Each structure stands twice: as structure tokens, then as C-alpha cells.
């Protein structure tokens, strides 16, 4: 299929597949806004985003970054891997692209860098702090846990295997800190670089937690692993809405959130927009299953694209605190599932498929291991984390089974909403 034919229909008709002979110009509505493909083109496209009428002249010379942005649809950030290789090609591209500029990302609790590549693309860099075997410290709360670069990589691959495709594409890369970070650092960031007593190059930046000399990020002696998350389109071109997660934790060392003490909490959620109708409650349950499988308790907000209104799937962002406790299963992460007792039919079908193949090469853990083996930083996850994924999968299905058993009508639990 020609590139012109492939890009625009993804957004103009969401996840519907067009006949091979159809062209973008024939099938797009002239008033259908597409996402601004890249920062380089925002001035030409404007805040309204690219329209289908622009695709004929634009798509032929578009970059991989542009193509990724143009494929974002209502239900996912990118199409299935089997039908389109854009994401895989873009991740390979990130590994080799020269870095021309770095800046520290404002906000957030821990150090992150915005990376600009020679071709104008951007990525969010999270550096390696610990070895794969380092677990969450027993006396650390979920909100003071260290972020792990390999958790971001693992989350992307797990999200794709579950069929969600709502996680921003992430790839691992090893940097030469001297040439690719220190040489490009400026201002306050540059001042935080130093040589450790062990003669390793270190830096710490400025942030809320762990940005000081005693928590510095150090190379070996100047080689440093990190995760590179592809940037989404700029918010001026593709505005996003931030939502407070209804099952947000208290982020306090003594207080509990309402959902942790109220068994009927889901009834309150169902009365509130946008969970009172449409797909959003099922999307939150999907998100909770992803979080549970990797042990991520740090889900306080989520985002959606405004152009799709309340019919948009949430974007799965920020998973640095996942994959921290391989020997502990935090069942409270599944609260949206077991309190509301609903699950999307397609999600359940995917989970059962992996469960049926448990113990084979097509189990969830083996599928994840195989997928992660394509990343430059393989092995990405410590083996106990992979074993935990299979164990937790069985717990998810057990929660669904309990919901079905106590329901008068099983069709109220397993919902087929055509997503």
C-alpha cells in the first residue's frame, strides 16, 4: 500500500481498514483534523492540525516521526505490528540518530532529559540508576520509589502484546556520556556533572527527589543505559486533556484514598462523567490490568486526545515505577476490575489466549521475553519479573471469574464494545 494510502485513513476513520485501492484523498473528509506530524511542520500546519487535504502533498516526503504521528487513531497510538512497521523502524532509527541537544524536563519528581536528534525528532530520556536485580526498597512508598528505565521499555512491549497499543513507543540505548550528554549540557544541568571517587562520570540535575550528589546517575566509566520514549505531537497541534484517575492513591504515608475504604466506590464512579457512559470505564480497567501485570502503583492521572472527545482511548504514559517487586502481587491495583466487575471482551479474549498457552513458548512471559529480546539493552527485565507476569495473569482471570459467578447476567461483566 502506498504511503499516501496508509497514513490518513488511520485517523479519519479511526481503526476501520480501507480497501487497498482506496486513496487518502478519496476517503478522508476535508474537515478531519490530523495530528501535527512533527515540530518542524507546526508553523505550516497551525494549531488546527493537518487536514486530509494536506496529505497528498505531505506524506510522500514525511519522516518516520511524521508517519508515527499521522497514524495515531482514536483507539490506539499505532496500528498492529503485523500490518505496519513504522514503529519498529522508528525505534531502530532512535538508536542510531546523533543527539544534537539535551535539556532537562521541567516538573516531575525525578530526572528526565528531553533529547533532540539531528533529524529534528525528540525523545524523553530516563537514565539507568540500578541493575536489573534491584528491587523496590522495602521501606519506600510507591510515590518515593526510584524510576527504572527498563520498566518503561518493558511496559511498551507488554502493552503491545496485550493488544492495547496505547503506550508511547520506547527503546533502550547506551550513551557515551562524555560525547552525548556532557558535551551538550548547558547552564544548571552542566554544573551538576562531576567525576566520582571511582573515576566515573556522574550528574544529577535538579528535581524533587534524588537529584543530589548522593543520588547521582553515573556511567561506567562514561557509558550509560537509558530509555528513549518517542515524543507525541505537540500539544498545540494535538491538544490533550488531563484527567484525575478515579482510583488514584492518596500519595500520603498515612491516609488512604476513598476507594480503599468504600466497597461501593464504583457506584460513585459510574455516576460521574465520563464513566457514566461510553468506553472510559472499560479503558480504566484495561489500564489497571496493564499496571497490575507489571506492579505499577503510580497511576494518578491519565491523558486523552481532545479531538476524539470522550470516545478516545487513554494514553498509557509514565511506567518508570513498574517492575519493582517481582515477588509481591499488589492486588489493590486491580480495584477498577474487582470493584466494578466489568472487562472488555477483546481484553479478556487476549488474556485467556495467553493463559491457554501457559507453559509453552506462547505464554505471556515467553512472548514478552521474545519481544524484549529485540531491544538493544536485552535482557531488559530480570527473570523473576517475567515469571511474575504469568502468575499475575492467573490472578486477573480469577478476579474476572469471581465477578461472573456473582453476577446475575454474565453479559454485564464481559462487555463487547467493539474495541
Q: Which residues are catalytic?
A: 298
- What is the C-alpha to C-alpha distance for residues 303 and 94, in angstroms, rounded to an integer? 24
Cell 520498566 appears where?
Answer: 151
Of the chain, the end-to-end C-alpha distance in Å amounts to 24
**Are 333 and 192 within 8 A, CB to CB?**
no
- What is the C-alpha to C-alpha distance for residues 146 and 38, in angstroms, rounded to an integer? 31
Cell 495515531 appears where?
Answer: 72
Provide the 3-class DSSP secondary structure of residue 23: coil
- What is the C-alpha to C-alpha distance for residues 61 and 54, in angstroms, rounded to an integer? 12
Q: Is the peptide bond before 221 cis (omega within 30 degrees of 0)?
A: yes
**Are 77 and 167 within 8 A, CB to CB?**
yes
Q: What is the dihedral of CA 207, 250, 319, 368, to 10 degrees?
A: 150
Residue 315: DSSP 8-state? B
**Are 324 and 131 within 8 A, CB to CB?**
no
Annotate 163-193 with b (16+ C-beta within 10 A) or e (fewer): bbbbbbbbbbbbbebeebbbebbeeebeebb
DSSP β-bridge partners for residue 34: 50
- What is the C-alpha to C-alpha distance for residues 294 and 284, in angstroms, rounded to an integer? 16
Residue 146 grid coordinates:
526510584
* Degrees, nearest 5: CA angle 221-172-202: 25
Helix axes 345-356, 280-294, angle to 10 degrees: 30
Cell 537509558 appears where?
Answer: 226
158 Cβ partners below 8 Å, 6+ apart? 290, 293, 294, 368, 389
* Degrees, nearest 5: CA angle 60-156-378: 105
Provide the 3-class DSSP secondary structure of residue 313: coil
Amino acid at each position: 500500500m502506498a504511503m499516501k494510502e496508509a497514513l490518513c485513513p488511520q485517523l479519519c476513520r479511526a481503526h476501520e481498514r480501507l480497501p487497498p485501492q482506496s486513496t487518502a484523498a478519496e476517503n478522508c473528509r476535508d474537515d478531519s483534523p490530523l495530528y501535527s506530524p512533527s515540530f518542524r511542520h507546526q508553523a505550516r500546519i497551525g494549531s488546527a492540525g493537518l487536514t486530509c487535504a494536506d496529505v497528498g502533498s505531505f506524506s510522500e516526503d514525511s519522516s518516520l516521526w511524521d508517519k508515527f504521528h499521522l497514524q495515531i487513531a482514536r483507539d490506539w497510538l499505532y496500528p498492529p505490528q503485523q500490518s505496519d512497521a513504522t514503529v519498529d523502524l522508528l525505534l531502530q532509527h532512535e538508536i542510531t540518530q546523533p543527539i544534537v541537544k539535551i535539556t532537562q524536563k521541567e516538573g516531575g519528581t525525578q530526572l528526565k532529559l528531553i533529547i533532540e536528534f539531528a533529524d529534528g525528532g525528540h525523545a524523553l530520556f530516563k537514565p539507568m540508576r540500578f541493575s536489573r536485580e534491584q528491587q523496590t526498597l522495602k521501606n519506600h512508598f510507591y510515590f518515593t520509589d526510584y524510576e527504572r528505565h527498563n520498566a518503561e521499555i518493558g511496559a511498551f512491549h507488554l502493552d503491545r502484546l496485550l493488544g492495547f497499543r496505547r503506550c508511547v513507543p520506547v527503546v533502550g540505548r547506551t550513551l557515551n556520556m562524555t560525547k552525548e550528554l556532557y558535551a551538550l549540557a548547558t547552564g544548571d544541568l552542566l554544573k551538576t556533572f562531576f567525576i566520582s571517587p571511582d573515576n566515573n562520570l556522574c550528574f544529577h540535575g535538579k528535581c524533587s527527589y534524588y537529584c543530589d550528589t548522593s543520588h547521582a546517575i553515573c556511567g561506567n566509566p562514561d557509558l550509560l543505559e537509558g530509555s528513549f520514549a518517542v515524543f507525541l505531537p505537540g500539544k498545540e497541534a494535538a491538544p490533550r486533556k488531563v484527567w484525575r484517575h478515579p482510583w488514584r492513591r492518596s500519595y500520603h504515608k498515612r491516609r488512604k484514598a476513598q476507594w480503599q475504604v468504600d466497597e461501593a466506590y464504583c457506584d460513585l464512579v459510574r455516576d460521574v462523567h465520563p464513566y457514566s457512559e461510553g468506553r472510559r470505564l472499560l479503558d480504566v480497567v484495561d489500564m489497571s490490568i496493564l499496571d497490575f501485570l507489571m506492579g505499577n502503583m503510580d497511576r494518578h492521572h491519565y491523558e486523552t486526545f481532545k479531538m476524539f472527545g470522550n470516545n478516545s482511548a487513554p494514553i498509557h504514559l509514565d511506567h518508570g515505577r513498574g517492575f519493582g517487586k517481582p515477588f509481591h502481587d499488589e492486588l489493590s491495583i486491580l480495584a477498577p476490575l474487582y470493584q466494578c466487575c466489568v472487562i472488555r471482551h477483546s481484553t479478556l479474549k487476549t488474556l485467556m489466549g495467553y493463559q491457554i498457552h501457559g507453559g509453552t513458548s506462547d505464554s505471556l512471559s515467553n512472548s514478552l521475553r521474545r519481544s524484549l529480546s529485540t531491544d538493544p539493552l536485552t535482557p531488559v527485565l530480570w527473570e523473576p519479573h517475567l515469571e511474575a507476569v504469568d502468575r499475575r495473569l492467573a490472578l486477573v482471570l480469577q478476579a474476572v471469574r469471581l465477578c461472573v459467578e456473582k453476577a446475575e447476567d454474565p453479559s454485564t461483566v464481559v462487555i463487547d464494545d467493539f474495541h
